[in-house]
Amino acid sequence: IFRLFLHTRMKMGLLLLLIICQCAIHSIKTHGVSKPNIILLMADDLGIGDLGCYGNRTLRTPNIDKLAEEGVTLTQHIAASPLCTPSRAAFLTGRYPIRSGMAAFSRVGVFLFSASSGGLSSEEITFSKLLKQKGYATALIGKWHLGMNCESNNDFCHHPLSHGFDYFYGLPVTNFRDCKPGQGSVFLKGLQKDLVIPIQIAAIAVVSLAIVQYIGLLKVPFQALGYCLIIITISLVVLIFFFYHFRHLNCFLMRDHQIIQQPLSYENLTQRMTKEAMQFIGRNTNTPFLLVLSYLHVHTALYASENFKGKSKHGLYGDAVEEMDWSVGQILDVLEKHNLSDKSLVYFTSDQGAHVEEISSAGEVHGGYNGIYKGGKSTNWEGGIRVPGLLRWPGVVQAGSYIDEPTSNMDIFPTIVKLAGAELPSDRIIDGHDLLPLLQRKVTQSKHEFLFHYCNAYLNAVRWHPGNSESAWKVFFFTPNFSPEDSNGCYDSHVCFCHGGFITRHDPPLLFDLSRDPEEKVPLTPETESRFYEILRAVHQAVDNHTRSLHAVPNQLSWDNILWKPWLQLCCSSLFQSCYCDHESGGSPLQVHLG
């Protein structure tokens, strides 16, 4: 009896020990996938074909490729918009930009000036707001492009610090050709097209009135003629002043709410931003942090520091890509240095595809490579919206794995919000889905049965991935008119537009199966696809459901909200001193060691 009693006690003890071990292991696993550090790296206008891990064999991107080797590669990762401003709004909020008013009904789909009144509404909930509430230190370094002020030049209603970031170091708008002397202008061609005719009409009208007044055919008060001349003259003076000083007024560097360099200097710029990111990580080794490093590379104006100039096989564009890759390596190294690699989720992407129409005045290609995919930035062909998607988290996601399911940059919002232990907002639709079950292979199918592709505020195309099929159907309601016709972009207008004579509407819509035709070369027809009308019916039903879920919101990209407003202009000195200051030049650049 004693032996039986002892044997039973031992078995119970072993069982208890096993339960305790399992609980401990579960606790460790749970701790491992909760409140990790979040590092989100976003390139600007980078083509999916520019990276070694997506098939490029001539550009050197070993550090970005390392993310793929040690993490997951998403092969069908889709930007919510093919333009910077709406894509970034969707990324931060997990919602289609049409829901936040960040999709334009006019031709211009992004913010162009620092003194515009539009921007990401304070009503929107960003992942940075939710993570900050959960004790995360939060920083945005680099490009913002989601607005600055509303009614005065210091209300900062759209500023990153008003959207959940503790720290901001970067550009409030974006990197334009006009920001770098000698790189040309993104506005000149448009101004020539849009302003020459109105100016000619106004001049002819004033001269005609003066003539009929002189010969006595019509009595026109000299006062009216005077007012007309004054208005035209003032308008021209303001326009000339603005574009002459564009670089000073729109291309400047801020730290939090303070301008620290106006105009922006490109000297060691990537090193400075990388150093800021590394210092932020160093300050937060003992607390969970969110770092969004939003590179200016490889949007034009292109630039590269002396250590990278002339080193790539693809001119200045390649130099810029390789410098960005170096920066990614620095971030990974500092995580390793502080033993944070296993506690950190690192994500790399681009806001949209490469800008294929970017060619310098000297004829050098300044746009990237979208691989086999058609089109580029500003279009919803795959080249404009299929972007790199790399996620690394050692011990949590499987290294070297690939996921060929539709995913979106909107998915980052619910993924990191849940990891931080925060609740998803219940008062609004979140269009993104948590990626972790897919990344950990707990599920094999994406939750995105349908994805809606907008060209500005116009529904352009729909992607359908049925649950019982490997097909990825894509339906286009209209397509951009490429110029020249046999080219791969809208070279005559620099970007493609979304309405009027710039597009061709299709009835019935164009249908592709991306699983068989990822290059979108051959539209399917009722003769070549037996389910043609069945597919269109399913897509139209999805569009109806989606449209019913939309609610009217203020349009942040209306003409009134995107035009320059002098009273909103940020200036570190005064307009009469050309808005000049430089509090950056004294800083020591980060040492660059090239392998």
The identity of residue 473, as a single letter, is W
Q: How far is CA 278 from CA 281, 285, 314, 335, in A?
A: 5, 11, 28, 9
Within the chain, all domains assigned CATH 1.10.287.550 are found at 186-244
Radius of gyration of the chain (CA): 27
Report which of 180, 123, 17 is spatially closest to residue 427, judged by C-alpha positions. 123
Query: d(Cα 263, Cα 176) in Å, to the nearest integer?
Result: 12
> Which residues are CB-neighbours of 28 under 8 A, at least 6 positions away?
none
**Residue 365 is encoded by which pair of tokens?**
């290609």
Within the chain, all domains assigned CATH 3.40.720.10 are found at 37-175+251-445+555-568
HEC secondary structure over 75-91 = CCEECCCCCHHHHHHHH
What is the pLDDT tens value at each position of the chain, 595 positions in all? 545 444 555 555 555 545 444 544 443 343 346 799 999 999 999 999 999 999 999 999 999 999 999 999 999 999 999 999 999 999 999 999 999 999 999 999 999 999 999 999 999 999 999 999 999 999 999 999 999 999 999 999 999 999 999 999 999 999 999 999 988 887 766 655 666 666 667 677 767 767 776 777 766 676 666 777 777 777 777 766 677 789 999 999 999 999 999 999 999 999 999 999 999 999 999 999 999 999 999 999 999 999 999 999 999 999 999 999 999 999 999 999 999 999 999 999 999 999 999 998 888 999 999 999 999 999 999 999 999 999 999 999 999 999 999 999 999 999 999 999 999 999 999 999 999 999 999 999 999 999 999 999 999 999 999 988 999 999 999 999 999 999 999 999 999 999 999 999 999 999 999 999 999 999 999 999 999 999 999 999 999 999 999 999 999 999 999 999 999 999 998 766 779 999 987 655 565 555 4
DSSP letters, 512-530, are EETTT-TT--S---TTT-T
DSSP letters, 13-79, are HHHHHHHHHHHHHHHHHHHHTSS-EEEEEEESS--GGGSGGGT-SSS--HHHHHHHHTSEEESSEE-
| Residue 12, pLDDT score | 55
- Taking domain 186-244, whether its CATH number is 1.20.1260.10 is answered by no
| Residue 592, pLDDT score | 57
- Taking domain 37-175+251-445+555-568, whether its CATH number is 3.20.20.70 is answered by no
Reading phi first (left if > 0) and then psi (alpha if -120 to 50, else beta), residue 119 is in left
Report which of 64, 477, 120 is spatially closest to residue 297, judged by C-alpha positions. 64
Dihedral pair phi/psi, residue 155, rounded to 5°: -85, -25
Q: What is the DSSP letter of 554?
A: -
DSSP letters, 233-299, are HHHHHHHHHHHHTHHHHH--EEETTEEEEES---TTHHHHHHHHHHHHHHHTTTS-EEEEEE--TTS
Q: Half-sphere exposure (CA, 13 Å, Cβ side) for 420?
A: 28
Dihedral pair phi/psi, residue 378, rounded to 5°: 80, 0
Looking at the chain, how many residues does it have?
595
Q: Which of 53, 77, 84, 251 is catalytic?
A: 84
Yes or no: say if 106 and 391 are a contact pair by the CB < 8 Å rule.
Answer: no
| Residue 13, pLDDT score | 54
Q: Which of 145, 163, 299, 465 is catalytic?
A: 145
Strand 401-403's sheet: what is its strand order? 401-403, 72-74, 389-392, 344-350, 37-43, 289-294, 137-143, 167-171, 253-255, 258-262, 581-582
Print burial letters for 362-393: b (CB count within 10 Å at least 16), e (below 16): eeeebbbbbbebbbbbbbbbbbbbbbbbbbbb
Yes or no: say if 8 and 260 are a contact pair by the CB < 8 Å rule.
Answer: no
Dihedral pair phi/psi, residue 152, rounded to 5°: -135, 165
Report which of 382, 408, 385 is spatially closest to residue 515, judged by C-alpha positions. 382
Yes or no: say if 462 and 543 are a contact pair by the CB < 8 Å rule.
Answer: yes
Dihedral pair phi/psi, residue 259, rounded to 5°: -80, 130
The identity of residue 242, as a single letter, is F
pTM as predicted: 0.90
Q: What is the DSSP letter of 407?
A: E
Query: d(Cα 374, Cα 365) in Å, to the nearest integer?
Result: 17
Dihedral pair phi/psi, residue 412, rounded to 5°: -65, -35
Known catalytic membership, residue 248: no
| Residue 242, pLDDT score | 72
| Residue 332, pLDDT score | 98
**Residue 92 is encoded by which pair of tokens?**
């931060």
| Residue 24, pLDDT score | 40
| Residue 585, pLDDT score | 73
Known catalytic membership, residue 145: yes
